[in-house]
Structure 1
Amino acid sequence: MAAAAGEEVEAARWAEAEDERKEGLRRRRRYGLVEYRALPGYMRDNEYILRHYRCEWPLPQVLLSAFSIHNETLNVWTHLIGFFVFLVLTIYTATQVPNVVDLQSLQHLPDVLRNADLHKIQTELVACLPSLPHLSDLQKLKDELKSSWNSIEVLPSLSRWHLLELLSSCLPHRFTHSNETSLSVLQSMKEDIANMIAPQLIRPIPRWPFYAFLGGAMFCLLASSTCHLLSCHSRRLAYIMLRLDYAGIAALIATSFYPPVYYSFMCYPFFCNLYLSCITILGVATIAFSLLPVFQNPEFRTIRACLFFGMGASGVIPVIHKLILFWHQPEALHTTAYEVLMGLFYGIGALVYATRVPERWMPGKFDIAGHSHQLFHVLVVAGAYTHYHSGLVYLKWRDVQGC
């Protein structure tokens, strides 16, 4: 009896262990990677990627899948890393980007002043002041120059570039008969006077357009990464995530316009407001259109790419206008070169996305790495990073030159 009871207990344990083993197999099979043909209709987007799909996994497994290998792994991480790159750039821009005026250049000012004919240069500079703009605002500077070089106080906005231009046009004509030493001292003096006065005069231009772009870039990259990670959970979550992804793309394109338009046309309020209004309205309309259920269908893939490409291509108009207005300014050409490079990155990315190259040439060969969406992600990050450097040029240009 005892032996029979022991056998029954052992058999029950064995059966329980076998049930657990089978359940484990079922779970692994359920949460394993599947082929394209096993996907539900709402997950079928690219028929050239044949394997390694996650399909309707529970949310905990979906979140953990960010650290496993499947055909969305690089889609998640290319934009997630891009998000952290732009987060660091935003913090760096806010805390470490130096002021345009280099205050270190003032360290040798006392030596220059000791070597100069201070009274003569002081008299000639005061004589130049009536030709300066905003004469009523600068009257205080004239009074201070008459009395002392050491008590210049805060004055209204005037850029260092304007100061140098005015000093260069005035002082050399008054020192035509000076010897070489005096002219050399005068040239150094012009720079030092401008450097001494400019920090008191320059009011940094608004930074909000630049930070709007950085915010749009971070939103786009984070939304895209989240979409690729979570969309396999369920039809409802995929619907929400795809709309968030499209909204992020539209936000990035729209906010990319803000720095070039604002800083190019800040002295032309009508055109500045016109271009900013147009791109904002176009961005909102694109986001609204992307909320339509039909916009998600695979057959609209090319239309989606063309819509976003057309939205970005509209930036050609303000760029040409900027070149017409500032063709003589090297900063205008410098920023345009960055913008052309950014446009190439975005344009090639949209083309790759729409044509599904290279996986359409060799279906199944680029399931894990190298397919079109991953290339599209890399090109988007490269374009946004290029635009960041363009924004830095705009900030320096306008801080120094003003209008």
Structure 2
Amino acid sequence: MDNKAKQELKSHSLNLWHKFWIPKGSLWGENESRLDYLNGERFNTLNSYYKKDGRSPDQRSGWGGREGAGRPGKAGKKAGKAGKKAGKKAGKKAGKKAGKKAGKKAGKKAGKKAGKKAGKKAGKKAGKKAGKKAGKKAGKERRESRPLALRGSKDAGASAPPPRHVIPVFLKDNPYITDGYRAYLPSRLCLKSLFILSNETVNIWSHLLGFLLFFTLGIYDLTAVLPSAGASREDFVICSVCLFCFQVCMLCSVGYHLFCCHRSEKTSRRWMALDYAGISIGILGCYVSGVFYAFYCNNYWRQVYLITVLAMILAVFFAQIHPSYLTQQWHRLRSIIFCSVSGYGIIPTIHWVWLNGGVGASIVQEFAPRVVVMYFIAAVAFLFYISKVPERYFPGQLNYLGSSHQVWHILAVVMLYWWHQSMVYIMQYRHSKPCPEYITDL
């Protein structure tokens, strides 16, 4: 192998070594010839070989890429530096913008959450403060509207119940009663007012004592009076029904006059409806016992009148369902209804007198005066009720004692007691004397 062939082989070997083992950008500068070192020797023969081959060192070693591009020069470096700077600037700007947007979003979210929490806390605090203030004010108004006996020690030196202009409209049914009202009371204080002086005290206690009276009479009649008279099972039933109706009438009246001052007008109206229902039940008790013993010897007419009376009382109950029944506009109509139901008793009374042979009959002379007295007491009580006498002539002076409604209550108890005694009397008469021997179709 000649020297020329050896040099070419060595050049080719160095070229392969340079291509696979020397990293880009090392050993030489931009304008220098490529220097290759191996075992301490310097080879300059590659330059001549590259010139003959027709390719540059960069093309042979792959510095220009697969397509043979040359190494970057100053312009490339400058462009790269400018690109790097532009990229850095663009990245910084984009990062700043993205960071600002993310920060704004996070800040808005955190602010919203903090604002909601703070608003909730502030609202709760303000609501509590306002509620406390409103409750204190309402409590003061309610305390001032109560009668003096129901107030606390702080009000011990205060003047009596509130003036009439602050009393609820539904309690102002009597313009001549100007003082002694209870108003806006809860149920507990309504019950407590049973033991204080007001313009309802006599109304409440008159019928509460009336209930105790009829309850005691019921026990006495069932254990002593009826057994001693040889009463039948029917007598026990009639006596029990009569006294039970009287007791219900008394309790309904007590309930209304005790709770009419309730702070809820709806509750007061319900008790008023119950009071009217109690009056109807009391009238029913009078009719049941009166018709039973008046027609004791005539079963047909006894059933006719009992059914008729029951139908009338049921009609009154259904009338109470009407929305306007308890209004002031229906006050006159309510009075007419109860007067009609009570006055109906005159019809069976006249029929009873005629069936028994007229006014001269012994049973008529025994029992008719009692019926007349009962109707007289009822008529006087009703006149007091509708005329509002005597307070009409003494306005503001009979607030606690002596008003027309109190007289009405007392007369109602007297009337029912009189009727009870009359029933006991005629019951004993029926068992002591047999029915007369007559038959009539009337």
340, 361, 375: which one pairs with 1:343?
A: 375
3-state SS in 2 of match to 1:293: coil
RMSD of aligned Cα (Å): 2.3
Return the offset for 1:28: 3.7
Residue 221 of structure 1 is aligned with which of 237, 250, 255? 250
1:4-403 alignment runs, 5 A limit: 28-32=143-147, 33-97=161-225, 99=227, 206-233=235-262, 234-326=264-356, 327=358, 329-403=361-435
CA distance in 2, matches of 1:266, 1:82: 29
Q: Which residue of 1 aligns with 2:97?
A: none
How many angstroms apart in 1 are the aligned matches of 2:381 and 2:314?
Answer: 22
Deviation at 1:387, TM superposition (A): 0.2
The change in CA–CA distance for 1:290 and 1:26 in structure 2 (over 3 A counts) is closer
Q: Share of identical aligned residues, percent?
A: 29
Distance 1:28 1:39 in 2: 13
Secondary structure of 1:97 counterpart: helix
- 8 Å CA contact 2:207–2:253 kept in 1: the answer is yes
CA pair 267-303 structure 1, distance change in 2 beyond 3 A: same
Q: Say which is worse superposed, 27-36 or 350-359, in terms of deviation.
A: 27-36
Secondary structure, aligned partner of 2:389: coil
Q: CA deviation at 1:30?
A: 4.0
Provide the C-alpha distance between the structure 1 equivalents of 2:175 and 2:210, rounded to a whole number of angstroms: 27
In 2: Cα distance, 1:393 partner to 1:331 partner: 11
1:46-95 CA-partner distances (Å, limit 9, x unpaired): 11211221111122111110110111111101111111001001110001
| CA distance 1:284–1:204, change in 2 (3 Å) | closer
Q: CA deviation at 1:27?
A: 6.0
Verify the 8 A CA contact 1:212 1:255 in the aligned structure 2: yes
Question: Is the 1:205–1:399 contact (alpha carbons within 8 Å) kept by the matching residues of 2?
Answer: no
CA contact (8 A) 1:75 1:374 kept: yes
Q: What is the SS of the residue equivalent to 1:56?
A: coil
- Once residues 357 and 249 of structure 1 are traced to their aligned partners in structure 2, the CA distance between those partners, rounded to angstroms, is 22
Cα distance between partner residues in 1 of 2:137 and 2:280:
48
Following TM superposition, by how much is the alpha carbon of 1:36 offset from its aligned partner in structure 2, in angstroms? 2.8
Q: Distance in 2 between matches of 1:208 and 1:371?
A: 38
What residue identity is the alignment partner of 1:56? Answer: Y
Counterpart contact for 2:180–2:198, Cα < 8 Å: yes
- State the TM-score, normalizing by the size of structure 1: 0.66
Structure 2 unaligned runs (5+)? Answer: 1-135, 148-160, 436-442
2: distance between equivalents of 1:345 and 1:302? 21
Distance 2:380 2:302 in 1: 28
State the 1:360 CA deviation: 1.8
Letter in 2 for 1:289: A
Deviations 1:345-382 (A, max 9, x none): 11111121112111222221111111111111011111
Distance 2:329 2:392 in 1: 15
Hey, what's the Cα distance between the residues in 2 that align with 1:334 and 1:279? Answer: 24
Alignment partner, residue 154 of structure 2:
none
Counterparts of 1:222 and 1:85 in 2: how far apart (Å)? 12
Q: Distance in 1 between matches of 2:142 and 2:347?
A: 56
Shift of 1:329: 4.5
Q: Look up the equivalent residue of 2:162 and give its one-letter code.
A: V
1:147 maps to none
- Decide whether aligned partners of structure 1 residues 69 and 281 sit closer, same or farther in structure 2, where only a CA change above 3 A counts: same
Higher Cα radius of gyration: 2
Q: Kindly provide the amino acid, as one letter, of the partner of residue 318 in structure 2.
A: A
SS at match of 1:251: helix
- Specify the SS of the correspondent of 1:207: helix
CA shift digits 1:180-204 (9 cap, x unpaired): xxxxxxxxxxxxxxxxxxx8xx956
Structure 1 residues 61 and 400 mapped into 2: Cα distance closer, same or farther (>3 Å)? same
Aligned residues: 284
Q: Deviations over 1:222-266 (max 9, x none)?
A: 100111001211212111101100001011112201112112213
Moved more, 25-34 or 208-217: 25-34
Residues 298 and 49 of structure 1: CA distance in aligned 2, closer, same or farther (over 3 Å): farther
- Aligned residue identity for 1:277: I
More displaced, 206-215 or 339-348? 206-215
Q: In structure 2, do the counterparts of structure 1 residues 291 and 365 end up closer, same or farther at CA, with 3 Å as the change threshold? A: farther
**How does the TM-score come out when normalised to structure 2?**
0.60
Secondary structure (helix, strand or coil) at the match of 2:235 reads: coil
In structure 2, the residue corresponding to 1:96 is in which secondary structure?
helix
Render the CA deviation track for 1:109-138: whole Å, top value 9, x for unaligned. xxxxxxxxxxxxxxxxxxxxxxxxxxxxxx
